[in-house]
Amino acid sequence: MHDGTLYQRSLRTQNRTQALRYEAIFRSSLVKGEFGILDAAKCPTLAQFEIRLLPHLKANVAARTYEFYKQHLSVLDRFGPMALSRLHRIDAGVVEKFIQHRLRDKVAPVTVNHSLRTLRRALHIARDWKLIRDVPRIKLLPGENQREFVLEDQMVNDMVQWLRKTYSPTSNFHLLLPFLVDTGLRISEACNLQREHIKFKGDVPCSVRVIKGKSRYAKREIPLTDRAAFTLLACVQRSHCDFAFTSKGGKKPLTRHYPSEQFRAVRDALHISKECVLHSTRHTFCTRLGKAGADAFTIQRLAGHSSITISQRYVHPDMQAKIEAVLLLDKLNQPNIEAAKN
């Protein structure tokens, strides 16, 4: 009997002394469970854990995200001290050995960090499944090239003109580009946008819904600017299938590869910095929202960020906003000032 519950099982021995010893071991395991003390002997190695981890990831993340994790788990596997370590033995020392191993192979910091992020995700899942008690702090390497290029309006107009002359009428990318700038959709989200996800006001689109994305936070509804509504309507009218943005002929959904190629072509033709990538349209959307005075929570809802911390990067209050915030404090302090005077 333990904590009001009867546990009964055969200990497979007729020796009373040995049975009492087994009973004590079993009782000890119950107590350890109550205090979150895990059985280290049952903790798998990282390589063994992947057999269970990969199916879980495949069922719970987007296909491209799954391929990302799968690729970098294989990198972790190739480093013996990491792959053969039991999960509870992976600490800062093992992580540092892995980092130095990768740097000796002349691997870029951003690539090393991809593997570290994958390891961190795996260990957090292991903790959730009660295979380990704690997750070690995994510090990413500095030196990642943060692409924060913002597309100016004139630049977008120049790109649209070049795309129209070069690819139209076989391509819709001259319509898709300003739509991405004004909605902040990821390219995969735009490619998956269907007619049923578009809300119309009369004959004109007024908002779009993202029903599936990079994470569960990607589900959202985004109101459309006049420019975004016009370009979306033009694409829908050209489409001969359920998808808004289509490939040549309008019968198949657009794939992310072709817009990326066209974006690089127009960027190079107009001699724009290589820091400008297709994802810059999303960064431009969030930056413009911040400049317009949108708060971090609104940016998070519109962009589908998984964390408010990401959205806060785009909020930069100007001096007038700071003055107005302090004036609010003055209003709160007014009753106290009047009371002090009396």
In this structure, the answer to whether residues 177 and 271 fall within a common structural domain is yes
pLDDT at 114 exceeding the cut of 80: yes
Residue 61 resides in a domain:
yes
Structural domain count of the chain: 3
In this structure, the answer to whether residues 30 and 54 fall within a common structural domain is no
pLDDT at 30: 59
Tally of CB atoms within 10 A around 144: 14
In this structure, the answer to whether residues 185 and 51 fall within a common structural domain is no
Residue 124 resides in a domain:
yes
Residue 75 resides in a domain:
yes
Instruction: Determine the average pLDDT of the residues in 120-146.
Output: 87
- CATH number of 300's domain: 1.10.443.10
Alpha carbon distance 148, 284 (integer Å): 8
Q: What is the pTM of this model?
A: 0.68
Ranking 170-179, 286-295, 332-341 by mean pLDDT, the lowest is 332-341
In this structure, the answer to whether residues 85 and 13 fall within a common structural domain is no
pLDDT at 177: 96
- Residue 228 near residue 180, CB atoms below 8 Å: no
- Per residue in 222-262, pLDDT tens? 999 999 999 999 999 999 999 999 988 889 999 888 999 99
Kindly list the strands in the beta sheet with 220-223, ordered across the sheet, starting from the edge strand earlier in the chain: 198-201, 204-210, 220-223
pLDDT at 325: 74
Among residues of the chain, what percentage have pLDDT more than 70? 90
Q: 338 pLDDT band (50/70/90 cuts)?
A: low
pLDDT at 28 exceeding the cut of 60: yes
- Residue 314 near residue 299, CB atoms below 8 Å: yes
- Residue 285 near residue 305, CB atoms below 8 Å: no
> Residue 336 has which token pair?
């106290």
- Residue 123 near residue 132, CB atoms below 8 Å: yes
- Per residue in 32-70, pLDDT tens? 555 444 455 678 999 999 999 999 999 988 788 899 999
Q: 264 pLDDT band (50/70/90 cuts)?
A: very high
Nearest-CA neighbor of 149 among 270, 280, 260? 280
> Residue 109 has which token pair?
């910091």
In this structure, the answer to whether residues 168 and 303 fall within a common structural domain is yes
Instruction: Determine the average pLDDT of the residues in 1-22.
Output: 81
In this structure, the answer to whether residues 276 and 218 fall within a common structural domain is yes
Which residues span the domain enclosing 97?
A: 46-128
pLDDT at 337: 63
In this structure, the answer to whether residues 210 and 106 fall within a common structural domain is no
In this structure, the answer to whether residues 63 and 11 fall within a common structural domain is no
- Residue 197 near residue 245, CB atoms below 8 Å: no
In this structure, the answer to whether residues 98 and 219 fall within a common structural domain is no
pLDDT at 339: 64
Residue 118 resides in a domain:
yes
pLDDT at 20: 85
In this structure, the answer to whether residues 19 and 92 fall within a common structural domain is no
In this structure, the answer to whether residues 79 and 171 fall within a common structural domain is no
Residue 143 resides in a domain:
no
pLDDT at 336: 67
3-state secondary structure 194-252: EHHHEEEECCEEEEEEECCCCCHHHCEEEECCHHHHHHHHHHHHHCCCCECCECCCCCC
> Residue 64 has which token pair?
């491209």
Residue 134 resides in a domain:
no
Alpha carbon distance 300, 312 (integer Å): 9
Residue 327 resides in a domain:
no
Alpha carbon distance 70, 76 (integer Å): 10
Q: 5 pLDDT band (50/70/90 cuts)?
A: confident
pLDDT at 2 exceeding the cut of 90: no
pLDDT at 98: 96
Residue 169 resides in a domain:
yes
In this structure, the answer to whether residues 262 and 206 fall within a common structural domain is yes
pLDDT at 29 exceeding the cut of 60: yes
> In the predicted model, what is the mean pLDDT of the chain?
87
